[in-house]
Amino acid sequence: MNSFEIRATWSLASLFALRMLGLFMILPVFALYGQDLEGATPALIGIAIGAYGLTQALFQIPFGLLSDRIGRKPVIIAGLLIFLLGSLVAAQAETIYGVIAGRTLQGAGAIASAIMALLTDLTRDDQRAKAMAMVGASIGMSFALALVAGPVLAGWFELRGLFLFTAVLAGFGVALTVWVVPAPDVRKIFRDTRPVVSHFSDVLRDTGLLRLDFGVFCLHMVLTASFVVLPGWLLTNADMDKNHHWMIYLPILFLSFVLMLPLMIVAEKARKIKQVFLLAVLLLGGSLFALSQWHDSLWPIAIGLFVFFWGFNLLEALLPSLVSKLAAPGFKGTSMGVYSTCQFLGAFAGGAGGGWLLGQYGDSAVYMVGAGMVAVWFLLAWSMKQPAYLQSVTLPLTQTGELDAGVWASRLMGVTGVEEAVVIEEERAAYLKVDNARLDREQLKQLSQLSMQSQAEPA
């Protein structure tokens, strides 16, 4: 990366992390502190925890498409201001309904698509995969930091102070966008990085992708539902002061991440992604069942939580990779848009459903239902095929004059190592799936009579 791309990537990764940190910090504390709000019930506490997911799911794709028309930065700033407003509404609320309204507003500032679009504008094709990986890592780090910082900050400043802190984070995000994030010279709209409305019906008919969409829905449903119950268990069953819950989250998250890495290497390098994926689903489902049965003291909770996060971290890394591998050339952006929507819907369903189950049937029921959903997911995943280990390539076609998409696609398919090719005339770009080990780059250059401006990026 050059210095401009480094600045763009770290500033956008920081922006993403600030916003997600504000959303996630509520998870480990609200089930405890929310009980003091007027009108609070388990069901309404669950809705407050997951409310952001519903509006995030509804607005993330429209905000991304709007950024294509009016610019990335105006949409990002508007989204952060909406998030800031939602934080202030929640901070001033004295009833559970006020917090629900604030959390709903927080989610409505859905800027994820606009941030990723701006990252596309500011990076070269051959550096984009690296930049997106850095942004993805920032999300994981913000989640881990939120589980540690949330209990500490809530202990110092109570719930109101926690929401005010998230408003401050949003303000920092606005300043970062205005003064640090570079402004793009042009807006790039590539189908492998942006959703395309006309592709949604095709993506929704793809059973392989739908299986993964259901999976990420389940994953984030059980995550959010777990935190409707878990803080109460740590307080009463494990006899841990609510200000010290971070002391169990920190070592568990660290150890689960360390043990995830060897399995990721096996999945990608040894090409055993299906086997590792099924193992991760089993870890997730097994931990949920175990927690539903054994949660009366610290050690059963800690062991169950460790296995849960071991499986969760693995699946959080594997699922986007599988979506990219299964998506047809040019459909990656749309496929990831649908995937992200299902992820946020899962967070909402987990909060609302987990709260309702807790109120109606008790804490064990939340984990039992979660284990049942994951069991259904495992049965669906069992029939998935081992994905082909192909790479995505976006090849700009800068040739002047008319561009015959059919002719170019046929020529590209004749290149050694090119397995799939789609040419989009209006974008003057070719979207390829290639076998990176066999790809004849020189043949590709000669055919297009261009310098190859993009290298294979990991799908």
For 410-457, how does the pLDDT look when each residue is reduced to its tens digit (9 = 90+)? 888 888 888 888 887 777 778 888 887 788 777 777 666 543 333 344
Mean pLDDT of 179-198: 80
Mean pLDDT of all residues in the chain? 89
pLDDT at 449: 56
- Return the H-helix or E-strand segment holding 75: helix 72-92
Ranking 120-129, 211-220, 300-309 by mean pLDDT, the lowest is: 120-129
* 256 pLDDT more than 60: yes
Better-predicted residue by pLDDT, 447 or 115: 115
Of 379, 405, 329, 333, the C-alpha closest to 120 is: 333
Show the DSSP H helices in 237-331 as ranges.
246-269, 273-293, 298-326
Cβ pair 20, 142 in contact under 8 A: yes
Question: Taking the C-alpha atoms of 438, 430, 70 and 126 in order, what is their torsion angle to the nearest 10 degrees?
Answer: 30
DSSP for 403-428?
--HHHHHHHHHTSTTEEEEEEETTTT
Residue range 363-389: average pLDDT?
Answer: 93
Residues 71, 144: Cα–Cα separation, whole Å? 32
User: How confident is the model at residue 135, as a pLDDT?
Assistant: 85
Look at residue 403 in the predicted model and tell me its pLDDT.
Answer: 58
Ordered domains of the chain (ranges, CATH): 1-189 (1.20.1250.20), 190-387 (1.20.1250.20), 391-448 (3.30.70.100)
Return the closest-CA partner of residue 57 out of 384, 344, 325, 365.
Answer: 344
Q: What's the sign of the alpha-carbon dihedral 268, 269, 274, 278? A: negative
Reduced to 3 states (helix: H, G, I; strand: E, B; else coil), residue 395 is: strand
pLDDT tens-digit map of 311-325: 999 999 899 889 888
Residue 168 has pLDDT above 90, yes or no: yes
Give the residue-averaged pLDDT of 224-246. 95
Specify whether the CB–CB gap between 414 and 443 falls below 8 A.
Answer: no
The pLDDT value recorded for residue 177 is: 95
Q: What is the pTM of this model?
A: 0.90
Burial class (CB in 10 A: 0-12, 13-18, 19+), 23: buried
Q: What is the pLDDT of residue 454?
A: 36
In the chain, % of residues over pLDDT 70: 95
